[in-house]
Amino acid sequence: MRILLACASGFSTSILVERMKSYVQKEKLDITIDAVSEGRIASVIEDFDLVLLGPQVSHLEQKYRKEFQDLNIPIQTISMMDYGMMDGEKVIKQALKLLRKE
């Protein structure tokens, strides 16, 4: 599974990405995670299985869902609580749940 995180600048997700990677490593999951600024989503989205947006760009979720609907790549905003707590485990579980549901 390949997860793309996107936020306003691409920087604020770096701590969360590292915590997600730590959880993935601990659980021996086959998951790759990368982060970009929201303006770069279009240029990389096809390389990923799902996109998780930082809460600061949640207003773009519907726009991106419509724009990329033909790709059938789930797009969802990370919970503000999980993002604020930088809870990598919960964000990975959100991603796994999202892929099972879609």
Question: Could you give the CA distance from residue 58 to residue 24 in angstroms, rounded to a whole number?
Answer: 25
Burial pattern 13-36, b for ≥16 Cβ within 10 A else e, equals: beebbebbeebbeeeeeebebebb
What phi and psi, each to the nearest 5 degrees, are found at residue 59?
-65, -15
Catalytic residue among 3, 5, 6, 7: 7
Q: Is 7 a catalytic residue?
A: yes
Active site amino acids: 7
